[in-house]
Amino acid sequence: MDFPATPSNASDSNEYPGTTVSPTDTPQDNNKRRSSNRSIKRRRFDDELVEYSLGLPGASLGKGDKRVRTQSYTSQLPEFPISTPTPVAAAGPAQERRRTSSKISYGSVARKSRRKGQLTQLSTKDLGRWKPTDDLALILGVQQTNDLRIVHRGVKFSCRFTVGELQSRWYALLYNTEISRVAVAAMRNLHPDLIAAVQQQALYSTAEEELLGTLSSTSHPTIEKFQELLDQNPHVFYPLRTAKTLMTHWQLLKQYQLLPDQTVQPLPKVLGDKITSFSDAEETINDADIPDLKEDGIDAEMQFADRVEKKNIRLLETSLSRWQVLVQSVAGGGTELDKNTLAVLRGRLVRYLMRSREIAVGRSTRDHTIDVDLSLEGPAAKVSRKQATIRLRNSGDFFMSSEGKRPIFVDGRPILQGNKVKLNHNSVIEIAGLRFVFLINQDLISAIRQEAVKVTIPV
């Protein structure tokens, strides 16, 4: 039997229009609300659950369907007011609490890492520039001289440090426990060879130089003298000093006039405080009193330069004997042909004098010499080492034979390899872009022809 739906029931009921009310349900049961007597009310765990089975057809609806329908049908029925919190709203504070807790934890971790980074940065400050060898050299220099300025001038560090940087590093090694601990650990891990190399470059203290100054600059002490000085004063000299190093340092002091007996004479003054001129002071200097300081390297360099010059002279002498054709500049020489010149091969810059009956024309190299080197005239990269040969026959005629890969042009006529051509007076010869004029000494050739005729015709 169906119960009629009244307006009051419709307004009080949470059911949607068209739904059927169960006979067992009463308005009191529908309006009854579950509550708790606790002072602090917290959300139950099932408030955040979503019943997906309610959307299936034929599913029964209960008292808790009001909350579920609110989430499932909100998009379909926007006109009904929503009084109960949705699962999204229920999940919001939980997510907010998680975000807050994550922010708090992240902030604490960030503060801890920042504090740790500050300590690490404090302990490793300038470790990129300051090497362990630099710290060791700084400590040794200060122990020897007690002056940072002398250490800055005399010690060669891995970087160009200023006096202020040396002072800051020294104070950090003394008073900063983190930096000193890291620096000491790094110096202990150095290789013994690196430690020995730094210790050998340690500066000389004032007491050490005073003991070396006891040896006169005019004397010539041997290495045994320095060994004796080292044995007598072991508490003054640095433990790694040797007789050879002491001798080398004493020679440097003597070279730069730093020994006690090498006092510099002041310039004489005339007319009160007026200093004399340079010429007047030079006249007062006695050249015999000036010591003759010689460096060992200068003698070796002079001997090497002397050997090089002598070698070049020998090469020039041997090359002069091989030249059979004299090369003379056109601008500086005359145009007359002497009695020893048979012909002239004249170019734009130089001219080649032919004084033998046969000459070779080509390009000279280091391993191959030629009579007429065409590289003196201009670019001869395309010229063969032996391009042609010019011969004088007994009849007084000149013939040129082509022996190179590239042809030779005589008066515009190409002469290929293996062919010959007769050269006349004022013939133009072109070899790989270089042009020459062949000039014949007519008087000398006429005399040669007459002698040839006398020999052929018997008297």
d(CA 245, CA 233) in angstroms, rounded, equals: 15
Mean pLDDT of 211-218: 90
d(CA 335, CA 425) in angstroms, rounded, equals: 15
Mean pLDDT of 268-288: 66
pLDDT at res. 33: 63
Lowest-confidence region among 28-37, 130-139, 214-223:
28-37
Lowest-confidence region among 108-117, 356-365, 404-413:
108-117
Q: What is the mean pLDDT of the chain?
A: 75
Q: Does residue 151 surpass a pLDDT of 90?
A: yes
pLDDT at res. 378: 85
Phi/psi at 369 (5° precision): -105, 150
322 or 24, greater pLDDT: 322
CA triplet 296, 302, 303: central angle to 5 degrees?
Answer: 95
Q: Does residue 262 surpass a pLDDT of 90?
A: no
Q: Which of 219, 273, 268 is nearest to 247 (CA)?
A: 219
Is 0.75 surpassed by the pTM of this model?
no
Helical ranges in 285-366 per DSSP H: 296-322
Helical ranges in 201-295 per DSSP H: 206-212, 223-232, 243-255, 278-284
pLDDT at res. 91: 44
Per-residue pLDDT band at 225 (split at 50, 70, 90): very high
pLDDT at res. 311: 92
Euclidean distance between the first and the last CA atom of the chain, given in angstroms as a whole number = 178
pLDDT at res. 248: 92
Q: Does residue 243 surpass a pLDDT of 70?
A: yes
Mean pLDDT of 32-48: 57
334 or 379, greater pLDDT: 379
Model confidence over 55-74: pLDDT tens digits? 444 444 444 444 444 443 33
Lowest-confidence region among 12-26, 155-169, 310-324:
12-26
d(CA 411, CA 242) in angstroms, rounded, equals: 83
Instruction: Among 12-26, 105-119, 137-151, 275-289, name the most confident range.
Output: 137-151
d(CA 266, CA 286) in angstroms, rounded, equals: 14
Mean pLDDT of 131-143: 94
